[in-house]
Structure 1
Amino acid sequence: MTERTVLCVDTEDDVGATASTVEDEPTLTAVEATTVADARSTLESEAVDCVVTEYELEDGSGLEVVDAIREETPQTPCVLFTDARPGDVDTSSFEDLIVEYLGKHLPDAHDRLGFVVDDVITHSSQVGFLLPDNEDERLEALAEYDVDELPIEESFERLTDLIASHFDTAVAFIGLVERDEEDILACHGADWGSITREDTICTHSMLQEDVMVVEDISSDKRFDSNEGLHNLGIVSYAGANMTTDSGEVIGQVCLIDHEPRTYDADQRADLQQFADEAMEMLELRQRVIDAEMEVAQ
């Protein structure tokens, strides 16, 4: 049975009772904090599966704890276990997080807390991955490329060979990020056809404007417990966006190594250049296909 770590943030008078209530659920282990500052420190040093927080704290509010979660691991669910009434809580701050309200004044609230925490953790894991704000538009842009009909595979295979040689890395691949998985169009150093979006670092990398580097996934709370990544032998990662002319990120050009690794500014710029080249190659092949279809009509 997998244990789940829950950060309980409450007043000094109540935090012990809150933590004890959480641990009444067999799968949950509690760690305690009594201030926003303590909560931030814990989140920086320890991976947690959920946060249970009071609304009013000694040095701020539960909203600041929620903001801290958003900075560290945006997918982590939160439970407001509080004396504050719903009308006194600024729920607009919870726009992208799974946040459950449970008033301490409600009948059987303490008896239900462990169940609620376990349920929101399960729900968040079923959500699986973060989505860009423009996910619908991004998928529409991706659909404009008839990848199955494009003569692109051999060109991309040559490109990934070049990329792997340039960076002296174990694996280099080019992937398009579909609705539920990343479709690997070419891969040097591994035989990967597709990776679910839950298991691909590209799900996170595509949300960043610049090249994303993870020097060692075992030291990154977003990925250290991702068995899919470990099973693929992924230790370090670098990913650059493939972006359409309209600004939609549809894919990634990525480097994988089986040991920790850093990339300096020049290497990151080179990787982005390769990603831009892959995007231009895809665009060119699509324009050729479109032109041929127009002539045929």
Structure 2
Amino acid sequence: MSKATSEETTDLSRTVLCVDDDERIGAVAEAIDTEGTLSAVEATSVEGATQRLREESVVCVVTSYELSDGTGMDVIRAVREHAPQVPSVLFTDRPPQDIDTDSFEETIVEYLNRDLPDAHDRLGFITNDVIEHSAQVGFLRPDDEEERLATLAEYDIDELPIEESFERLTDLIASHFDAGVAFIGLIEKDEESFLACHGADLDSLTREDTICTHSMLQEDVMVIEDIADDNRFNKNEQLENLGIVSYAGANMTAPNGQVIGQVCLIDFERRSYDAEERAELQDFAETAMEILDLRQSLRAARGEEVAQ
């Protein structure tokens, strides 16, 4: 869930991770530092860059293509794994046609040819621009987002008698896991709407402010033991205001394979979940989906009876 808005990005320290070999890293970092709103930190290998991404929050990564222990694509893959909301600039003399752009996938990547006469002068501007573009995107979306939203729209949520069933289910989930908060949420175009919530008074959150926006992109249950250790979320003021420390989320998947919502656990202390607990949470998510499908089928059947 959390990608800074343009206003938030300005307030945050714009730390940029620069990745290049020993001979060139200084010039790259200097080009970033020269841009008044940016501050460079350095790495000279894929391993070093990956470690930096684990340890600190950055708003952009500028990477060369050829590195001592891999390529810029390896760095971009590390960005996608550890901080997928963070954009990247590939600063290289390698022509675009020689780069596997399929590796970019959902990560925002800009290309700048370092052989251009004014390449270093332009680097700071390009980096600022890609940061702003990233902020305007707001949050990650599945590639098939339109189909997913169409699937969600097929469920007449406002007309389905599900509130009491889901309230009982979230009560059961919270009790089973001894969790502070358990909720069932549907992920709409711009927000997540909570159909039931045990332990907190939550109606909705914007998708920028919900971890479920990230969790829904994973096939398996997503667990964050401590948000303070996760660069994707440790700068999110909404989560901090809610006192959220740990999170676990399981997908509610419609019969056509589209993820329309999440069943989640929140706690106010650091917490882990073993394989059995993750499987149980997924079972609860499937139960929630079955309730939705059953209510939808019954409503459709009643509509057909009236039509006859």
TM range (shorter): over 0.9
CA contact (8 A) 2:139 2:213 kept: yes
1:78-93 to structure 2, matched below 5 A, reads: 78-93=88-103
Question: What are the Cα deviations for residues 78-110 of structure 1, in whole angstroms up to 9, with x where unaligned?
Answer: 112223344444434324322212222324322
Distance of aligned partners of 1:30 and 1:169 in 2 relative to their CA distance in 1, 3 Å threshold: same
**Identity between Structure 1 and Structure 2 (%):** 66
Question: What are the Cα deviations for residues 53-82 of structure 1, in whole angstroms up to 9, with x where unaligned?
Answer: 122233332222222222222232111222
Query: C-alpha distance in 2, partners of 1:84/1:133?
Result: 28
1:1-297 to structure 2, matched below 5 A, reads: 1-297=11-307
Distance of aligned partners of 1:100 and 1:159 in 2 relative to their CA distance in 1, 3 Å threshold: same
Query: C-alpha distance in 2, partners of 1:41/1:7?
Result: 11
Q: State the one-letter code of the partner of 2:244.
A: I
Query: C-alpha distance in 1, partners of 2:273/2:172?
Result: 17
83-92 vs 102-111, greater mean Cα deviation: 83-92
**Shift of residue 235, structure 1, vs aligned partner:** 0.8
| Bigger RCO (CA 8 Å, 6+ sep) | 2
Query: C-alpha distance in 1, partners of 2:183/2:57?
Result: 29
Equivalenced residue count is 297
Residue segments in structure 1 that go unaligned for 5+ positions in a row = none
Query: C-alpha distance in 2, partners of 1:116/1:137?
Result: 33
**Shift of residue 134, structure 1, vs aligned partner:** 2.6
TM-score, with length taken from structure 2: 0.90
Q: State the one-letter code of the partner of 2:53.
A: L
* Alignment correspondent of 2:3: none
Q: State the one-letter code of the partner of 1:208.
A: Q
Question: What are the Cα deviations for residues 126-183 of structure 1, in whole angstroms up to 9, with x where unaligned?
Answer: 2122222332222121111000111111221121122212222111111111111111
Name the SS of the counterpart of 2:94 in structure 1: coil
Name the SS of the counterpart of 1:48 in structure 2: coil
CA contact (8 A) 1:2 1:27 kept: no
Query: C-alpha distance in 2, partners of 1:91/1:208?
Result: 22
Query: C-alpha distance in 2, partners of 1:58/1:218?
Result: 32
**Shift of residue 267, structure 1, vs aligned partner:** 2.1
Distance of aligned partners of 1:192 and 1:26 in 2 relative to their CA distance in 1, 3 Å threshold: same
Q: State the one-letter code of the partner of 2:251.
A: N
Residue segments in structure 2 that go unaligned for 5+ positions in a row = 1-10
Q: State the one-letter code of the partner of 2:197.
A: C
CA contact (8 A) 2:182 2:266 kept: yes
Distance of aligned partners of 1:86 and 1:210 in 2 relative to their CA distance in 1, 3 Å threshold: closer
58-67 vs 84-93, greater mean Cα deviation: 84-93
Q: State the one-letter code of the partner of 1:64.
A: D
Q: State the one-letter code of the partner of 2:191.
A: E
CA contact (8 A) 2:84 2:232 kept: no
Name the SS of the counterpart of 1:75 in structure 2: coil
